[in-house]
Amino acid sequence: MPKKLKIGIVGCGAIGSSLAREITLNFCKTARLTALFDIQPEKSLLLSKKIAKSGKLRVSDLDSLIKKSDLVIEASSVQAAWEITRKSLSSGRKVMVMSVGGMVGHLEQLFALAAKFNAQVFFPSGAVCGIDGLKAANIAGVQRIVLTTRKHPDAFKGVEYVVKKFKLAGLKKDKILFFGTAAQAVKYFPQNINVAAVLGLAGIGMHKTKVRIIASPGVRKNIHEVLIESNAAKIFTRTENILHPQNPKTSYLAVLSAIAVLKQILRPIKIGT
């Protein structure tokens, strides 16, 4: 019988907790959750107690988690993501990265490390649709990609770039907060804009992918529209995300997209581009 894939999760918040539950419930024939790590130890302990009925899955540092895992799932923060990915790859582990924005500025190293240690890195599409078409169209040549993100003004609370430049309290109509490259968007909106980073990676790069961010008092959902002009097709997608039941900052589809990637890794038949 083939060995079960040992999975460790870094970050036990909304995404990490959902993935931990899913692995134990629905992937138990082919995978095993072996470690949980969070910089807030009470979170990994609580999750371990829920999943394993004891604290045995919790580890006290990243190195211990890497030792116990074949696949490391990063579900922590944009700031921590690169260090977690770098260390895991350097130990020859597979990595799934949720905080994709954290890879900006490290892409050359990322590709070099993955090649050197023969390791694989997975970036789920997250809360946006159109990555499949973009990957295929990019082979024939893509001229333009524009991501337009609309969120309720409350979603930008505490975002330094916005606080310094705009007053969003009492906003009555749509306000464009930003138009620029994906690389800049990731810098100014690190918590909000992993989708820009995924699009940049899948297509024509962080500096050619354009991003527009709009505060929209009329919307309750996070909406991502993607326009792609290419030699193969003109593509337009619109994703109206429902918020995650446990974390209103995260889109539900982002969590499900990571589960779908796990299916691609663990099941013999791979569907979609």
Residues carrying an active site annotation: 224
Which conformational region is residue 272 in: left (phi greater than 0), alpha (psi within -120 to 50 degrees), or beta? left
CB closer to ligand NAD out of 8 and 16: 16
DSSP H helices in 69-181: 78-90, 107-116, 131-140, 160-165
CB closer to ligand NAD out of 30 and 247: 247
Is residue 26 at the binding interface for ligand NAD, with CB under 6 A as the rule?
A: no
C-alpha to C-alpha distance for 10 and 44, rounded to whole angstroms: 9
Is residue 100 at the binding interface for ligand NAD, with CB under 6 A as the rule?
A: yes
Residues in 128-187 that interact with ligand NAD by CB under 6 A: none
Q: 11: which 2 tokens?
A: 């970050």
Stretch that binds ligand NAD, among 19-27, 75-83, 171-179, 207-215 (CB under 6 A): 75-83
In angstroms, the Cα distances linking 272 to 89, 94, 137, 261, 265 are 26, 21, 14, 11, 13
Is residue 10 at the binding interface for ligand NAD, with CB under 6 A as the rule?
A: yes
Q: Contacting ligand NAD (CB under 6 A), which of 9, 215, 254, 262?
A: 254
CB of 1 to ligand NAD, least distance (A): 33
The shares of helix, strand and coil residues in the chain, as percent rounded to the nearest 5, are 40, 25, 35
Amino acid at 253: L
Q: Contacting ligand NAD (CB under 6 A), which of 71, 75, 206, 211?
A: 75
CB of 202 to ligand NAD, least distance (A): 12
Residues 31-70: x where in contact with ligand NAD by CB under 6 A, - otherwise, as a string:
------xxxx--x---------------------------
Is residue 80 at the binding interface for ligand NAD, with CB under 6 A as the rule?
A: yes
CB of 229 to ligand NAD, least distance (A): 23
Residues 183-202: x where in contact with ligand NAD by CB under 6 A, - otherwise, as a string:
--------x--xx-------
Amino acid at 18: S
For residue 198, count CB atoms less than 10 angstroms from its CB and return exposed for 0-12, middle for 13-18, buried for 19 or more: buried
Is residue 243 at the binding interface for ligand NAD, with CB under 6 A as the rule?
A: no
Query: What one-character DSSP code corresponds to residue 34?
Result: E
Contact call for residues 227 and 149 (beta carbons, < 8 A): no
In angstroms, the Cα distances linking 234 to 197, 223, 227, 259 are 21, 20, 8, 29
CB closer to ligand NAD out of 44 and 184: 44
Is residue 127 at the binding interface for ligand NAD, with CB under 6 A as the rule?
A: yes
Chain residues in the site for ligand NAD (CB under 6 A):
10-16, 37-40, 43, 75-78, 80, 98-100, 126-127, 191, 194-195, 247, 249-251, 254
